[in-house]
Amino acid sequence: MTQTPTCAWHPDRETWVSCSRCGAPICPNCMNQAPVGFHCPNCIAEGKRTVRQIKNRTTPVTTTIIGICVAAFLASFVFPDLWLDYGVAGVAIFEWGEYYRLVTAMFLHGGIVHIAFNMLILHQLGTQLELFLGSKKFALIYFVAGIAGSFASATFNDAYTVSVGASGAIFGLMGAYFVVAKSIRFDTSYIVGMIGLNLVIGFIVPNIDWHAHLGGLLAGAAMAGVIHKVFPSWG
């Protein structure tokens, strides 16, 4: 015989409705309308606490990265060989020992569409993640993912193919966003859709370095998982 669930706050009240965030059964008096379904009193209180914590925080890392990328893009009009001198290429990394390219390539872009698209996603995801994680953890994820993406590009592309862009690091933010969202029981359909769409575009559109995308994605997710292991509450 199936037992009818009761409200977690009012055990004498039967209900078949549960919190869309934590799954706790809730009665009509405990329901709080959410974008998807209803939230329980605890999740509402937790949400208000989080909002209070981040209200006065800023996103200096995201802002600085965007500023450097834009400055480097403008400088490329004056120094057109920047991408050759500082982009990722297997021969430069593994034969010439120019390991700095693993980092510098993250700040260079090949055209206005390239930088505009990357900076838009960086602003959207970076702002949210930096506010939630704090600047130090966010920067760690971003640069680990970016370097991993550059390394994957240098390893799996032709040795003389030069690759530039923040895409590896940005895919790392997507992976981290997914891990964070899962850990706090947040709807992941948005980020899964974004990851899937951008991976497909990378696979089918010519001259897109999907090796960097995939390397950054996996590294960002793994780094977020490590941080969550050390700081279970993300604090």
Which domains can be identified in the chain, with CATH numbers?
A: 1-56 (no CATH), 59-230 (1.20.1540.10)
What is the structure's pLDDT at 48? Answer: 58
What is the structure's pLDDT at 227? Answer: 93
The predicted-structure confidence for 50-107, as pLDDT tens digits, reads as follows: 544 554 478 999 999 999 999 999 999 999 999 999 999 999 999 999 999 999 999 9
35 CB burial (10 A radius; 0-12, 13-18, 19+): exposed
Virtual CA dihedral for 173, 175, 179, 180, nearest 10 degrees? Answer: 20
129 Cβ contact partners less than 8 Å away, ≥ 6 residues apart: 138, 141, 173, 176, 177, 180
Are 83 and 162 in contact by the 8 Å Cβ rule? The answer is yes
Query: CA 111 to CA 45: how far, in whole Å?
Result: 45
Q: Could you confirm whether 211 is annotated as catalytic? A: no
Looking at the chain, the whole-number percentage of residues with pLDDT higher than 70 is 92
CA-based end-to-end distance of the chain: 43
Query: CA 19 to CA 75: how far, in whole Å?
Result: 51
199 Cβ contact partners less than 8 Å away, ≥ 6 residues apart: 210, 213, 214, 217
Average pLDDT, whole number, for the chain?
90
Query: CA 128 to CA 139: how far, in whole Å?
Result: 13
User: Per 3-state DSSP, what percentage of the chain is helix, strand, and coil (rounded to 5)?
Assistant: 65, 5, 30
Q: Could you confirm whether 167 is annotated as catalytic? A: yes
pTM, entire model: 0.78
Catalytic residue, candidates 20, 150, 167, 228: 167
Residue 235 has pLDDT above 90, yes or no: no
Catalytic residue, candidates 39, 211, 213, 228: 213
Q: What angle do CA 164, 167, 173 make, to 5 degrees?
A: 145
Looking at the chain, the whole-number percentage of residues with pLDDT higher than 90 is 68
The predicted-structure confidence for 170-211, as pLDDT tens digits, reads as follows: 999 999 999 999 988 888 999 999 999 999 999 999 989 999
List the one residue out of 167, 162, 171 whose CA is nearest residue 98.
162
List the one residue out of 225, 220, 212 whose CA is nearest residue 163.
212
Query: CA 45 to CA 51: how far, in whole Å?
Result: 10
Q: Scanning the structure block, which residue is given the tokens 């590294």? A: 219
What is the structure's pLDDT at 99? Answer: 97
- Using pLDDT thresholds of 50, 70 and 90, give the confidence band for residue 38: confident
